[in-house]
Amino acid sequence: MKTVVLAYHNIGCTGISVLLEQGFDIQAVFTHRDDPNENLWFDSVAEMAAAHNLQVFAPDNINHPLWVERIRRLQPDIIFSFYYRAMVGPEILAIPQKGCLNLHGSLLPKYRGRCPVNWVLVNGEEETLDYFLRQEMDTKNGQLRDR
C-alpha cells in the first residue's frame, strides 16, 4: 500500500520501521528541521529515512500549495503521522483514499498539542495512553475531527 509518512522523534523512527517491516510502500517522509537551540537527544527521522533510501522533505509549511500538490502527485493510499509537529490541513487530509492516521501520545482532549507526555508527568497523572486516530474534516463546521 502506497503511503506518505509525517514523522518526528523516536516515535517517528519506530513508525517508519514498522511500516517498512509490514511491507508498506513509503513514497516520501516529511519531517522537521532540527532546531539548533533544542536539546536533541532523540533519533533523526531524516537520517533514518535516508538510510532506507526514502525521499525526505522538511518543509516549513506542509500545507503550502506546492507541498500539497507534491503529496497529491505521490497518490498515497494512506498517510501516517507519528509525532509530526504541525497540523495537517483539509487539502492534505482529502488526498488518500484510505484516510490519514495520527498517533497522539496522551489522553484527548485533555492533553492536546505538543509534548503531551511531558504534561501528563508535570500534572502527576498516574496513567495515560496512546491514540491512533483517523483524522478528517467535519463537514458541518469545517473543523478537524479525530475519530
What domains does the chain contain, in order, with CATH numbers?
Answer: 2-146 (3.40.50.170)
> Hey, what's the cell of 60?
516549513
CB 81 within 8 A of CB 136: no
Q: What is the pLDDT of residues 9-59, one digit of tens each?
A: 888 999 999 999 999 999 999 998 876 676 666 678 999 999 999 999 999
11-20, 73-82, 132-141: which range is least confident on average?
Answer: 132-141
Instruction: Give 74's contacts (C-beta < 8 A, 6+ positions apart).
Output: 2, 4, 27, 28
d(Cα 105, Cα 124) in Å, to the nearest integer?
16
Predicted pLDDT of residue 130: 57
The two beta strands, 78-82 and 100-104, are parallel
Q: What does the pLDDT read at residue 110?
A: 53
Peptide bond into 109 cis (omega under 30): yes
Task: Report which of residues 88 and 43 the model is more confident about.
Answer: 88
